[in-house]
Amino acid sequence: MPMPARSRQRRSAERAASASPFAPTATLILTAAGAAAAVALAPAEGRRWVLGTVVVAWVCIAVVVGRASALLRRANRRAAAQGGELETARSAWQHQVAETSRLVDVILPDVTRQVRGGGDAKQVLSAVALPSDPHLQQLLRMVAGELSASVERAREAEAGLEGVRERLERGTAELRRLTEETLPAAVALLREGGSADTVFARFDWPQDALLRSAAERLIRELAYSERRSAAAQATSAKALSRVQAKTVSMLADLREMQERHGEEVFGDLLRLDHSTSQLGLMTDRLALLMDGRSSRVWNKPIVMESILRGAVGRIDAYRRVRLHSSSRAAISGFAAEGVMHLLAELMDNAANFSPPVDEVHVYVEERSAGLVVTIEDSGLKMSDAAMRRAVESVSGRVTDLASLQGTRVGLSVVGRLAVKYGISVSYRPSSRGGTGVVVLIPPQLIAQRHEPVTAERPRQAASAPRTPADRPRAVRSAPAAPLSTAATTPTSTAATTPTSTAATTPTSTSSESAGRGGATPNGLPIRSPGRAMAEAERIRHKPAAQKPADPGESGPARDAGTRFGAFHLGRRRAGGAPPDEDARSTAPEA
């Protein structure tokens, strides 16, 4: 703290200045008095010497005192001048301090506020009372300038930031819309077969170039891969349909060869037949997966026995499958192939996953909910996971080809068929120790059983001499009503028909239809497809056959001509009958 030191200095200087005017004079008087006393006291003989000495001493003292007082006065004057200077400096300093504090406390905040508020630095400075000190003024200008510049920069940066944020938000919104709406819809459209250009035209794509090009590239790639998979699928389906057609014609050829050739090649032909049937199953399986069609379409109801045999005949281990069916139901033609394929896949599965020595048992029950086919193997119990996978597969919920695993495609095919025909397939543990599959065929797939044509055709076929051209039609209708053939009398039909109410219908219609076509229980006439043709055939053959219209007699007691016709035809169909044997057998009669 310099202040107290300065005040003390000042006080001592004032005291010195106030004491100085009297002290020299008093000293001179006192010394003169002392000298006079000394001269007066001095002995007379030394008075002169003393006087001389005293005068000299006093003069010396006077000179010293005079000189000292002069020096003192000068010193006092200088001190006074320095004190004045000090005062000036102090006031200047205080002024400076005041200005500085005003600058710091008032001007700078004011200037800062105004500059921040958007004022120009020069205008703000001109409006403010500037400090008088040029340095402070310069400082203020500099600060104001820098402040204004930095405020400007901050404003610019803020604007830039705002722009960036806006762009970012727009980009985010576009990205979100692209991800959540556009891309899924576009992918769905592509899956349905839309081209990439259609997709680009239909949807609203992002403005952002980068995002847009990414989406475009993705869509093009996706469209390409969709096109590729669709082309692959279509090509395979087409190729497979040719294989299917070939297989079917091979089967027909084989059947024809089995008719024509004798016993020596029969076994080989059967083996070939079996292999070809298996080939047909594999081809159908692939074709279904490729969205192709079944190899065959039956245009007549197929009885359950034929359905089961048709299914079993397509699998490798057909000898291990035991069929337990007494059902007379028939599956409508449109669904027959599908049901056969489905059962074949399930039986194949059952046979493949059970020991090669164990049998697979197939049971058929007629229930009001439909036809229940149970396939039981005695293999190992399926694990829970495998069971879940199998249930998932046969549910048909997943039809994507990507879900296929390797060669195990059978159950996926079952799933597709089950969904297509509304068949329910469920798994349960078998009482035989293995796994049981319960297939419920809904009633709408089961054919109505009163079919006058099927009852009529075998009779007509039996009563008229057969010609090869007549054959296929009769073969077609034969399995549909195995019991109501020409040989059946009404009583035997009734005896062999199961007690189900639906099965009584063919009995009544077959006897009725012999004369004038069938009728519903309510009495309405029934005209089934091909009926008119059959009628015409029957009438055409009436003159040739002796007793064609009476079902009661035409069966067992057929006339000799009919019998001989059948005999001769049978021999011809046997193929192995050489002409000489023919001659030998007929010779006795001739």
Partner 1 sequence: MIRKPVDLGDPDRLYMVTGGRSETDSSLDLVTLIVSECEPTTGMQSEHVRILELCRHPTAVVEIAAELRLPITVVRILLDDLCALGKVSARHPRAAASVAGLPETALLQEVLHGLRNL
Residues 495-524 that bind partner 1 (CB under 8 A): 495-496, 498
Phi, psi of 323 (to 5 degrees): -100, 130
The residues in 206-245 that bind partner 1, with binding defined as CB under 8 A, are 245
589 scored as a contact of partner 1 (CB under 8 A): yes
Does residue 379 contact residue 355 with C-beta atoms inside 8 Å? yes
Give the DSSP letter string of 36-101. Answer: HHHHHHS-GGGHHHHHHHHHHHHHHHHHHHHHHHHHHHHHHHHHHHHHHHHHHHHHHHHHHHHHHH
Give the pairing type, strands 360-367 and 302-303.
Answer: unpaired
Rule CB under 8 A: say whether 532 interacts with partner 1: no
Q: Among the candidate windows 35-43, 166-174, 205-213, 258-266, which touches partner 1 by CB under 8 A?
A: 258-266
Nearer to partner 1, 447 or 483 (CB): 483
Q: Which among 68-76, 126-134, 171-179, 309-317 is the span making contact with partner 1, rule CB under 8 A?
A: 309-317
State which residue, 68 or 239, has the beta carbon closest to partner 1.
239
How far apart CA 526 and CA 528 sit, in angstroms, is 6
Spell out the alpha helix ranges (H) of 497-559. 504-516, 531-541, 551-554
Residue 441 touching partner 1 (CB under 8 A): no
**536 near partner 1 (CB under 8 A):** no
| Choice from 142, 475, 532, 536 touching partner 1 (CB under 8 A) | 475
The one among 488, 509, 513, 554 contacting partner 1 by CB under 8 A: 488
Question: C-alpha angle with apex 513: 512 to 518, nearest 5 degrees?
Answer: 90
From 1-9, 145-153, 385-393, 553-561, span contacting partner 1 (CB under 8 A): 553-561
Shortest Å distance, C-beta 208 to partner 1: 59
Q: Is 190 in the site for partner 1 (CB under 8 A)?
A: no
Q: How far is the CB of 549 from partner 1 (least distance, A)?
A: 20
Q: Which of 483, 514, 534, 545 binds partner 1 (CB under 8 A)?
A: 483
Tokens 């992002």 locate to 206
User: Binders of partner 1: how many residues, by CB under 8 A?
Assistant: 79
437 by DSSP, 3-state: which? strand
Of 76-84, 181-189, 301-309, 428-436, which segment contacts partner 1 by CB under 8 A?
Answer: 301-309
Site for partner 1 in 395-424 (CB under 8 A): none
Site for partner 1 contains 362 (CB under 8 A): no
Which of the stretches 17-25, 80-88, 92-100, 250-258 binds partner 1 when contact is defined by CB under 8 A? 250-258
Q: Does 576 bind partner 1 (CB under 8 A)?
A: yes
Number of C-beta neighbours around residue 465 at 10 A: 16
Q: Check binding of 439 to partner 1 (CB under 8 A).
A: no
- Verify binding: residue 429, partner 1, rule CB under 8 A: no
Among 134, 472, 523, 578, binds partner 1 (CB under 8 A): 472
With contacts defined by CB under 8 A, name the span among 183-191, 307-315, 380-388, 407-415 that binds partner 1: 307-315
Q: How far apart are the first and last CA of the chain?
A: 166
Nearest to 62 by CA among 21, 96, 101, 28: 28
Q: Supply the DSSP string of 352-420, one letter for each residue.
A: HTS-TTS-EEEEEEEETTEEEEEEE--SPPPPHHHHHHHHHHHHT----GGG-BTTB-HHHHHHHHHHH
User: Closer to partner 1 at the Cβ: 423 or 461?
Assistant: 461
Name which of 523, 520, 382 is nearest 450 in CA terms.
520
Phi and psi torsions of 382, nearest 5°: -75, 145
Q: Which is nearer to partner 1, 492 or 520 (CB)?
A: 492
Give the dihedral of Cα atoms 534, 540, 544, 546; nearest 10 deg.
60
> What is the amino acid identity at position 58?
W
301 touches 333 (CB < 8 A)? yes
Smallest separation (angstroms) from partner 1 to the CB of 583: 10
**491 binds partner 1, rule: CB under 8 A:** no
Tokens representing residue 9 in the block: 């200095």
Instruction: Pick the binder of partner 1 from 286, 340, 437, 446 (CB under 8 A).
Output: 340
**Residue 312 interacts with partner 1 (CB under 8 A): yes or no:** yes
| Contacting residues for 515 by C-beta, under 8 A, at least 6 apart | 549
> Under the criterion CB under 8 A, does residue 569 sit at the interface with partner 1?
yes
Closer to partner 1 by Cβ: residue 35 or 304? 304
Place of tokens 């007690």: 499
Considering only 67-75, 353-361, 372-380, 473-481, which stretch makes contact with partner 1 by CB under 8 A?
473-481
Check residue 570 for interaction with partner 1 (CB under 8 A).
Answer: yes
Least spacing, CB of residue 590 vs partner 1, in Å: 6
Only one of the segments 54-62, 138-146, 212-220, 295-303 lies at the binding site for partner 1 (rule: CB under 8 A); that segment is 295-303
